[in-house]
């Protein structure tokens, strides 16, 4: 099965995190499968000298997203909506905005890997207003 380089690094980094945090046999099988794709990718593109660093970067981005999502789960999911305080709601909103920014970074990095290797497709996310995620138009600017 042929996969985009960006997708391989993204999925491998998530699989590694699952093994570290959950550790089920299925997680380990998924990690090994994507490690095989990663080895093929490195062999197919020896001109790219920084594959391990790229994987570490993707893992960092996905780890931050994981932690923020976990924070939201702890803050709200086990509560009735009426029990959530305004301070908790503000924290949830803050974390949600960071998750959005990390996801934009993740997509842009996957796209960069696909451009560098001249493989795969570019992922173009648009918000409900039609702005392309990550192009700066999806972020409201504060007047100085």
pLDDT at 62: 97
Does the pLDDT value for residue 1 go beyond 70? no
**Predicted structure pTM score:** 0.80
The predicted-structure confidence for 41-78, as pLDDT tens digits, reads as follows 999 999 998 999 999 999 999 999 999 998 888 777 77
Q: How far is CA 51 from CA 25, 58, 104, 117, 129, in A?
A: 26, 11, 20, 11, 35
Please, what is the Cα angle at 112 between 111 and 113, to 5 degrees?
A: 90
Which run of H or of E encompasses 116?
Answer: helix 86-117
Does the pLDDT value for residue 102 go beyond 90? yes
Shortest CA distance to 117 belongs to which of 25, 42, 20?
42
pLDDT at 50: 95
Please state which of the ranges 105-109, 118-122, 129-133 shows the lowest mean pLDDT: 129-133
pLDDT at 131: 53
Buried b (16+ CB within 10 A) or exposed e, 114-141: beebebbeebeeeeeeeeebbeeebeee
pLDDT at 142: 44
- CB count, 10 Å around CB of 10? 23
Residue where the block lists tokens 């993204």: 10
Q: Give the mean pLDDT of 22-40.
A: 96
Q: Residue 6 has what DSSP assignment?
A: H
Going by pLDDT thresholds of 50, 70 and 90, the confidence category of residue 138 is very low
Is residue 132 within 8 A of residue 138, CB to CB? The reply is yes
CA 90 – CA 93 distance, rounded (Å) = 5
User: Cα torsion at 56, 59, 64, 69 (round to 10°)?
Assistant: 180
């Amino acid at each position: 099965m042929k996969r985009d380089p960006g997708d391989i690094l993204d999925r491998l980094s998530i699989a590694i995190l699952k093994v570290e945090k959950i550790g089920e046999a299925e997680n380990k099988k998924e990690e090994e499968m994507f490690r095989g794709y990663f080895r093929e990718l490195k062999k197919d593109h020896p001109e790219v000298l920084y594959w391990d660093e790229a994987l570490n970067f993707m893992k960092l981005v996905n780890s931050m997203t994981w932690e923020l999502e976990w924070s939201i789960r702890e803050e709200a999911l086990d509560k009735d909506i009426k029990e959530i305080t305004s301070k908790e709601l503000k924290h949830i909103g803050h974390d949600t905005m960071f998750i959005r920014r990390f996801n934009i970074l993740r997509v842009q990095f996957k796209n960069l890997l696909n451009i560098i290797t001249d493989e795969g497709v570019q992922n173009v996310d648009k918000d409900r207003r039609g702005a392309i995620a990550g192009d700066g138009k999806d972020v409201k600017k504060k007047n100085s």
